Amino acid sequence: MKSNKKIAVIGLGYVGLPLAVEFGKKFITIGFDINISRIENLKKGIDNTFEIDSHVLSSTLSNGMFSVSSNKKDIKDCVFYIVTVPTPTDKNNRPVLLPLINASKTVGSVLKKGDIVIFESTVYPGLTEEECVPVLEKTSKLKFNKDFFVGYSPERINPGDKEHTLTNILKITSGSTPEIAELVDQLYKSIIKAGTYKASSIKVAEAAKVIENAQRDINIAFVNELAKIFNLMGINTNEVLEAAATKWNFLKFKPGLVGGHCIGVDPYYLAQKSQELGYHPEIILAGRRLNDSMGIYITNEVIKLMIINNIKINNSDILIMGFTFKENCPDVRNTKVIDIILECKKFGLNVTIVDPWAEPSEVYKEYQIQTYKQVPDFKFDAIIIAVAHSEFVNIEFKNYAKQNAVLYDVKGCLNKSKVDQTL
């Protein structure tokens, strides 16, 4: 791989920025994003996703090979274009392809003969060649697999995980021709310490990614269902899982809310394509339905405990600890904590939300609700630990609890002797 091959990474979020930084250490790389404020922050060495250390970001930006921009003209001389934009779903759980289509139009407008476009966004099998390639052809007026080529290498970033980082996770690669597949594989192999796996086709690589998250979603749905059953039996689910995990081949998943931009979304992409082909997926959608129901279930369990403790429900005060989709991560996209909040409000509860990781302005923009960084000096009728942020473990919740208050630990992160119930 020649070092003079210029690379553009389109989309500088949780996936794109770490990728752009790593490539920027070895090749001339331009990180592109349409969010101007995001670009300005990155130029100052500030990454609001906390995926890249400010020192690493600043030093890479100063090495003369890496830069960031929101100006399309700055990427027109690149040879590799790597697209890492989000692939969300709408309120009816249908895939929203607009970010991917718009990114394809952007790349198509600067595409030249011999260029290679690599997609990392999670999609259903076939989407890259069926949806993105036609946009590239139409915008660029070039011919696929003659004038330009395409690759697919699904992202495997785990937001907030400082152990399983980009270079430490084996990377799946693929290309639209055998020669391009090898070229794409070598490109990624130059930065991925864990190595690469060259899939036989783009469709295989797409399918491999989408089933990774679908499988995890189904496994969590299973333990969530177990939690409901064991709760009726008066058994602690976490104690059951710990006992079962003493067998070497037991998969130790934990119950909880399943949101975020990957696990809570990707199964719907596979289901959509399946339904288009005339097959209605049963297990995949059953797992999604069960996991999507957990916010309402948790709220109802808390309400039951409050009634048992003789707490008046209407106009009572409830504290929800955590709003992001997972612990020790600022990402609030598709968080299922919102389901708890909305259900609490249906019961007439006064809800206060505290999350030291979530940015209040971002939460308000996305969900129109107020969050706080610190617990207010106030006492509550019920407290729900919704996200297992490390900051919550040593909090003395009794200081914020009214008499007979309920403490419900969704993630089982506190000592069980301190809580009224875990999921």
| Digit-coded pLDDT (tens) for 162-210 | 888 899 999 999 999 999 999 999 999 999 999 999 999 999 999 999 9
Per DSSP, the three-state class of 101 is helix
pLDDT at res. 422? 72
Q: Exactly one of 78, 132, 262, 413 is catalytic; which is it?
A: 262
As a whole number, mean pLDDT of residues 314-330 equals: 95
**What's the chain's average pLDDT?**
94
Q: Tell me the CA end-to-end span of the chain in Å, nearest whole number.
A: 51
Pick the CATH number of 235-422 from 3.40.50.620, 3.20.20.20, 3.40.50.720, 3.30.565.10: 3.40.50.720
Q: Does the pLDDT of residue 400 top 50, yes or no? A: yes
Say what the pTM is: 0.91
Q: Does the pLDDT of residue 41 top 90, yes or no? A: yes
Q: Does the annotation count 78 as an active-site position?
A: no
pLDDT at res. 4? 55
| Digit-coded pLDDT (tens) for 331-371 | 999 999 999 999 999 999 999 999 999 999 999 999 999 99
pLDDT at res. 2? 42
Q: What are phi and psi of 138, to 5 degrees?
A: -65, -40
pLDDT at res. 3? 46
Measured distance CA(299)–CA(408) in Å, rounded: 10
Reported as type and span, the H/E element at residue 215 is helix 202-233
pLDDT at res. 283? 96
| Digit-coded pLDDT (tens) for 197-254 | 999 999 999 999 999 999 999 999 999 999 999 999 999 999 999 999 999 999 999 9
> Can you read off the two tokens belonging to residue 114?
């011999």
Where helices occur in 109-201 by DSSP H, the ranges are: 127, 133-140, 178-189
Q: Does the pLDDT of residue 135 top 80, yes or no? A: yes
- CATH code reported for the domain at 7-209: 3.40.50.720
CATH 3.40.50.720 in the chain: give the residue spans. 7-209, 235-422
